Chain A
Amino acid sequence: NTKITQSPRYLILGRANKSLECEQHLGHNAMYWYKQSAEKPPELMFLYNLKQLIRNETVPSRFIPECPDSSKLLLHISAVDPEDSAVYFCASSQRDWGVANTGQLYFGEGSKLTVL
């Protein structure tokens, strides 16, 4: 899947800071970060819909998203914790005006974070 690219694909960290990057080439107007822990469904962390940020309030404040333009998405992680070990997926979709949520999500291949 080259329509949504994520980097890095794998990272192993101690208590460090790191940024994940995502770029979508689909012309979509909404981008997402999902966290998927082992044997769990994807869990939404953040949504940028028409550049408006919607945050899942359960996400720790050490995760900071950034959307520099409509095709790029970053996730800054400071002082990672072992519970942050997971695969982080970027996704995008074309959303209707407002919050209608009936469109298809396209996922990237994920960035697997292992915290020592």
Chain B
Amino acid sequence: GDSVTQTEGPVTLSEGTSLTVNCSYETKQYPTLFWYVQYPGEGPQLLFKVPKANEKGSNRGFEATYNKEATSFHLQKASVQESDSAVYYCALGDSGSWQLIFGSGTQLTVMP
């Protein structure tokens, strides 16, 4: 079945440093890939999605490239801020599944 594996957390960084959260997936379909972010006390919210292979998604300085050959969708940001502290989820959706498949989540803490 479909699955998503992402960087085990937690990740602690200093402001201004770079972030990479690894995400890999398995599916026999042609998925849309998502990154969701969840702040404390809130529901997850979409950061961005990429429906097509070899395309890049981005929002608020975060970006990820849908790499079909490597089955990866790593999240990157060049310079993190304290306000980026949250849990980040990689997710997969396709026409063969009736639910989004979430990764385990990566807790990011950014120190001032």
Contacts of B93 in A (CB 8 A): 101-103
Given contacts A41-B89, A110-B43, contact A47 B99 (CB under 8 A): yes
Does any Cβ of B come within 8 Å of A44's Cβ? yes
Q: A102–B51 contact, CB under 8 A?
A: yes
Q: Of A42, A101, A103, A109, which one neighbours B42 at CB under 8 angstroms? A: A109
Q: What range describes how many residues of A lie at the interface?
A: 20 to 34
Say how far B108's CB is from chain A's closest CB, in angstroms: 14
Contacts of B32 in A (CB 8 A): 101-102
The main secondary structure of chain B at its interface with chain A is: loop
Contacts of B31 in A (CB 8 A): 102
Q: A99–B98 contact, CB under 8 A?
A: yes
Give CA–CA (A105, B43) in the complex, Å.
10
Q: Of B43, B46, B105, which one neighbours A41 at CB under 8 angstroms? A: B105
Interface code B84-112, partner A: CB below 8 Å = 1, 0 otherwise?
A: 00000100011111111011110100000
Give CA–CA (A62, B32) in the complex, Å.
33
Contacts of A47 in B (CB 8 A): 98-99
Contacts of A89 in B (CB 8 A): 43-44
The main secondary structure of chain A at its interface with chain B is: loop
Does any Cβ of A come within 8 Å of B45's Cβ? yes
Extra contacts, 5 of them, besides A1-B43, A41-B104, A41-B105 (Cβ < 8 A), are A44-B100, A91-B43, A101-B99, A105-B36, A107-B42
Q: Give chain A's interface residues, CB within 8 Å of chain B.
A: 1, 4, 39-42, 44, 47, 49, 54, 56, 89, 91, 96, 98-110
Contact sample, A vs B, 28 pairs, CB 8 Å cutoff: A40-B104, A41-B103, A41-B104, A42-B44, A44-B99, A47-B98, A47-B99, A89-B44, A91-B43, A98-B95, A99-B97, A101-B95, A101-B97, A101-B98, A101-B99, A102-B31, A102-B32, A102-B49, A102-B93, A103-B93, A104-B46, A104-B49, A105-B44, A105-B46, A105-B100, A106-B45, A107-B45, A110-B42
